Amino acid sequence: MSLLPAGHWYFDSVTQHVLGFHHPLATSLRLVKEDTLFDSVEPVLRLILDVAKEAGSANSEVCSLKDSLTSLLTRQGKFLSAMDVCQSMIADDITRKDHRHERVRLNMNRLGYLYLAQRSYDGAEKMSLEVLSLALSDRGSGHPQPCAILTCERLGILYKVKSDYERSERCFRQAVDWFSKKFTVDDTDVMVYLYKNLLSLLEEILVLQERWDGVDRLHKDFPGFALGDVLYP
């Protein structure tokens, strides 16, 4: 399914599910041309979200719409708007569940990324450290959750951007250690992809510090990985 039909199908199906097949907005979306709809994805999605909230739709449906809107705004580079929606999701989840709930941590991690994308480094660091503390509070560092690994990696990237290479190295090493304890790398291609990227980020920091002995040791410790390329910044 190409992008335009996929977008059209998504909004059409969500609207019918939330409002019903015969609602005027659902009827309009069935009649509108796909390219016209896609040019107006954000306002249409906001409209569906507003109607869903007014209709008293289930929290899961509203949350799903907010999640989609946050992703869309992030891809569009509208980081401040994305932060507003993300913060509202965090507030909703804390009210309905608890501030320690996994979804709260994931959205806080997402908010940390939005701070980083705007080069608001202090905000990104504060948010990431808070997420890491929450992620480790349940079972400790001996049983790291995926959110803790992701947050530790993000902190490493943040410190690299700030040229704090020592702290960046510590974060990447911790993320590598937790990853190896939590997952079996041979499980899936995705695991190999993520693990290689962590190792490549660690190698990059060692190179920036001209720690050539550390680079050699990394290659000896992980001979099965062709290091040298960071798969995402």
Whether residue 178 is contained in a domain is answered as no
Residues 57 and 51 sit within 8 Å (Cβ to Cβ): no
Residues 84, 156 share a domain = yes
Domains: count for the chain: 3
215 vs 194, residue with greater confidence? 215
233 in Cβ contact with 157 (< 8 Å) = yes
Q: Check: CB of residue 105 under 8 Å from CB of residue 147.
A: yes
- What does the block give as tokens for 91? 């507030």
* Residue 148 token pair: 């803790």
Q: What pLDDT, on the 0 to 100 scale, is given for residue 189?
A: 60
What mean pLDDT value characterizes the chain?
A: 77
Tell me: do 79 and 124 sit in the same domain: yes
Q: Which pLDDT score, from 0 to 100, does residue 57 have? A: 63
Given a cut of 90, whether residue 135 has pLDDT beyond it is no
Report pLDDT for 230. 44
Q: Is residue 46 part of a domain?
A: yes
Query: Residue 55's pLDDT is what?
Result: 74
139 with 65, same domain?
Answer: yes
Residue 48 sits in the same domain as residue 66: no
- pLDDT for 4: 45
- Cβ partners under 8 Å of residue 126, min gap 6: none
* Domain span including residue 13: 1-57
Q: In angstroms, rounded to a whole number, what is the distance separating the alpha carbons of residues 2 and 70?
A: 21
Does the residue 87 lie in any domain?
yes
Same domain, 65 and 152: yes
The reply to whether 166 falls in a domain is no
Between 174 and 188, name the one with better pLDDT: 174
Give a yes or no: residue 170 inside a domain.
no
Same domain, 53 and 67: no
DSSP letter at 3 equals H
Rounded mean pLDDT, 39-68: 77
Decide if pLDDT at 8 tops 50. Answer: no
Q: Is 174 inside any structural domain?
A: no
Mean pLDDT of 208-217: 90
Domain boundary residue, one of 161, 191, 225: 161
Q: pLDDT tens digits for 66-103?
A: 888 888 888 888 999 999 999 999 998 888 776 667 78
Query: In this predicted structure, what is the pLDDT of residue 126?
Result: 94
Q: Region 145-170: what's the mean pLDDT?
A: 92
- Do residues 4 and 53 share a domain? yes
d(CA 131, CA 109): 6
Q: Which has more confidence, 232 or 32?
A: 32
* Whether this model's pTM surpasses 0.85: no
Beta carbons of 151 and 112 less than 8 angstroms apart:
yes
